[in-house]
Chains A and B, each alone.
Chain A
Amino acid sequence: MIPALSPNAQWVLLSTLILGAASGIVGCLAYWKRHSLMSDALSHAALPGVVVGFALAGTKNLPLMTAGAAASALLGAWLVVGIRDHSRVKEDTAMGIVLSVFFGLGIMLLTIVNRLPGGNQAGLDSFIFGQAASMVRKDVYMMAGLALLVVIVTTVSFKEWKLWLFDPLFAKGLGLPGRLMDAAYLTVVVLVIVIGIQAVGVILMAALFIIPAVSARYWTHSFGRMIALSALFGGAAGASGTLVSTMGEGWPTGPFIVIAAAVLFLVSLAFGRKKGGLVGALQRYIRKRRMRRRPSPGTSS
């Protein structure tokens, strides 16, 4: 740990590191399930639940608010699937609707609750952009528990995830319980979201899902290594973003974490060993030059 930081800041740092790693892992599953945007819709959909949970408890009761967040995120997911399956509306459109409506509803409720006595001191606003500084040791335990759960779920059934994500039809034919996989998947996604929004906020939570996973894709062709790398990137982004945000008074954590993740993404995009653009361009350039050097008629210029 870094001695210059206050003990509390060290706890915060540790918790965002763990959170980043957990969402990096789950983000990999979401990436191959083609659910990157879905995770965004889910985290936005969690906001009304947070506010309702607060209103019901009357104080900042974390378990209740987390339960509320989970409930409304699941409601959002259910609506997306319902709209997709029972109307002509496509999934991306359905997600767009759910995302904006739930977020709008959340902001509306937030404004109302903020007017109530004692409402505006509760720091509910921090759920929008994230305020990791408000986290304490108990939160770290919660996040560590979450990360452990995610690691266990992904490693124990690693081969099942691989099959389910690559070829769901074949998986079904082999008798892999699809509903159970769906449920497990949705559980880890929602868990990471509801626990993560405290630190990162509902708006930017999805970035912590998507960016580490897609960055990891540039470095490896193996699913296992991609998950490990994604966890590493997520953890690094979480920790470094938090570190920067503690330098200023009242700086929100979410944006800094996202920017840190984006830097990692840009580096991967350029230098990634497997699909990196710069590496690829360099290879093409070298090949071209070799071709050019070879004396051939018609290409004298």
Chain B
Amino acid sequence: MTRRQALQTEETQTGKIRTAENQTEGPNTANAQPEHRKTAQAHAAETEVAATYTAERPTAESGAAVTQTAELSAAETSAAEKPSAATSPAESQPAKRKGGGDPEEPVVRVSELSAAYRKNRVLEDVNFSVGRGTLTCIVGPNGAGKSTLLKVMLDLHPRLSGTVSFFGTSYGKVKSRIGYVPQRGAVDWDFPADALDVVLMGLYGQIGWLNWPRRRHRELALAAMEKMGIEHLAKRQISQLSGGQQQRVFLARALVQDADLYFLDEPLAGVDAATEWAIMETLRTLKERGKTVLVVHHDLHTVREYFDHVLLLNRTVIAHGPTEETFTRDNIARTYGGALRWLEAGVV
């Protein structure tokens, strides 16, 4: 129930944007509307039949409001796919669920993975699996292979051996359900584009190759920017954004992608406290919506506060599990090696 509540508060927050979106979208989505409603009802029926019905009764006004929220929740999960994709939402929705499927089936399963840069092995025999709806951080010393692990898992860096499966299948088949947020420094921010351009890139898969973005895509992107508190920067040159703002742009781009599994490479590196808070709020919201999030992290002080699972990595997995049990002095010491006088300062 708590999850449901959280879901709904989140939706009421975004409700305003979404409503505006529906109004301005025009004839294009007007015919998609009934479809929204249909799935919304299916959604509601599946989860909480009674609640929806009682809510719909009292007054016409509040009833309408609730239907809208329900509608939004459906729109939320497959919002952008709907208009462009040929498949009807009725088809894609259950498929999407089934894929995430069995809650026992891990979202990510890595076995015997190893990788190298030239002759230096960076990752050796990495084994772990990540469950659905978890917020996991990957910590380890510099050069432990944290970023490499993400890249190898996503086929961005060649692997020497081992297998990685997502949602019980291979990466290629579920690409669209996986969002990747590279390190901020991985791109050239001098590139001539504005913030909205970059956020729109998250929708390219849904827009379709060789198609041009339309107004509804722009509105989706703006809504995501609003969630990150940067909607006023939409037309700002990306070179004129601060580090924290750039990171928020990247996060908005990931949000708009509407993936089920997110990989973030050091999203909190070099950002101010407000941005850190905004990013963590977003990640928590994602988690509450049943998404799975993996974050490369470097600040041991905040691990306990921010993440429910932790993966300690130093070329191989040292320990992995719920933060409470795993993030222990012993495990940290084993991960970071002998020179641990700084640990005395009270990290844990």
A residues near B, CB below 8 A? 32, 156-157, 159-160, 162-163, 165-167, 169-170, 172-176, 217, 220-223, 225-226
Name 15 extra pairs, CB < 8 A, besides A156-B210, A222-B194.
A162-B197, A163-B201, A166-B191, A166-B198, A167-B186, A169-B151, A169-B156, A169-B186, A170-B253, A173-B154, A173-B179, A174-B201, A176-B204, A221-B239, A223-B197
- For chain B, give the interface size range: 20 to 34
A222: nearest chain-B partner, CB-CB: B192
Bound form: Cα–Cα A32–B191 in Å? 8
Bound form: Cα–Cα A298–B180 in Å? 53
Whether B205 and A175, one on each chain, are in contact in the complex, defined by CB atoms closer than 8 angstroms, is yes
> Chain B CB within 10 Å — which of A32, A156, A167 has the most?
A167
Q: Inside 8 A of B192's CB, which chain A residues have their CB?
A: 217, 220-223, 225-226
Q: Inside 8 A of B211's CB, which chain A residues have their CB?
A: 159
Q: Inside 8 A of A226's CB, which chain B residues have their CB?
A: 192
Whether A174 and B156, one on each chain, are in contact in the complex, defined by CB atoms closer than 8 angstroms, is no
Asked if B175 lies at the interface with its beta carbon under 8 angstroms from chain A, I say yes
> Chain B CB within 10 Å — which of A167, A169, A170, A220 has the most?
A170
Bound form: Cα–Cα A176–B239 in Å? 25
Q: Give the contacting residue for B209; candidates A157, A162, A167, A220; CB below 8 A.
A: A157
A158: nearest chain-B partner, CB-CB: B212
Whether A223 and B191, one on each chain, are in contact in the complex, defined by CB atoms closer than 8 angstroms, is yes
Bound form: Cα–Cα A223–B186 in Å? 19
> Chain A CB within 10 Å — which of B192, B207, B239 has the most?
B192
Asked if B213 lies at the interface with its beta carbon under 8 angstroms from chain A, I say yes
Whether A166 and B193, one on each chain, are in contact in the complex, defined by CB atoms closer than 8 angstroms, is yes
Asked if B243 lies at the interface with its beta carbon under 8 angstroms from chain A, I say no
**Contacts A175-B176, A221-B194 known; A170 to B205 CB distance under 8 Å?**
no
Bound form: Cα–Cα A176–B191 in Å? 19
| Distance (whole angstroms) from the CB of B314 to the closest CB of chain A | 24
Interface SS majority for chain A:
helix
Bound form: Cα–Cα A223–B178 in Å? 27
Bound form: Cα–Cα A199–B204 in Å? 39
Bound form: Cα–Cα A217–B176 in Å? 34
Q: Which 8 A-B pairs have the closest CB atoms?
A: A173-B180, A175-B175, A174-B205, A223-B192, A166-B191, A221-B237, A167-B187, A221-B192
| Distance (whole angstroms) from the CB of A5 to the closest CB of chain B | 37
Q: Inside 8 A of A170's CB, which chain B residues have their CB?
A: 180, 182, 201, 253
A160: nearest chain-B partner, CB-CB: B209
Bound form: Cα–Cα A162–B207 in Å? 14
Whether B212 and A159, one on each chain, are in contact in the complex, defined by CB atoms closer than 8 angstroms, is yes
Bound form: Cα–Cα A221–B238 in Å? 9
Whether A162 and B193, one on each chain, are in contact in the complex, defined by CB atoms closer than 8 angstroms, is yes
Whether B191 and A173, one on each chain, are in contact in the complex, defined by CB atoms closer than 8 angstroms, is no
Bound form: Cα–Cα A160–B207 in Å? 11
| Distance (whole angstroms) from the CB of A30 to the closest CB of chain B | 14
Asked if B188 lies at the interface with its beta carbon under 8 angstroms from chain A, I say yes
Whether B175 and A174, one on each chain, are in contact in the complex, defined by CB atoms closer than 8 angstroms, is yes
Q: Inside 8 A of A223's CB, which chain B residues have their CB?
A: 191-193, 197
What would 29 A/B residue contacts be, using CB atoms closer than 8 Å?
Answer: A32-B188, A156-B210, A157-B209, A157-B210, A159-B207, A159-B211, A160-B210, A162-B197, A162-B201, A166-B191, A166-B198, A166-B201, A167-B186, A169-B151, A169-B156, A169-B180, A169-B182, A170-B182, A170-B253, A172-B155, A173-B156, A173-B178, A174-B201, A174-B204, A174-B205, A176-B209, A221-B192, A221-B237, A223-B193
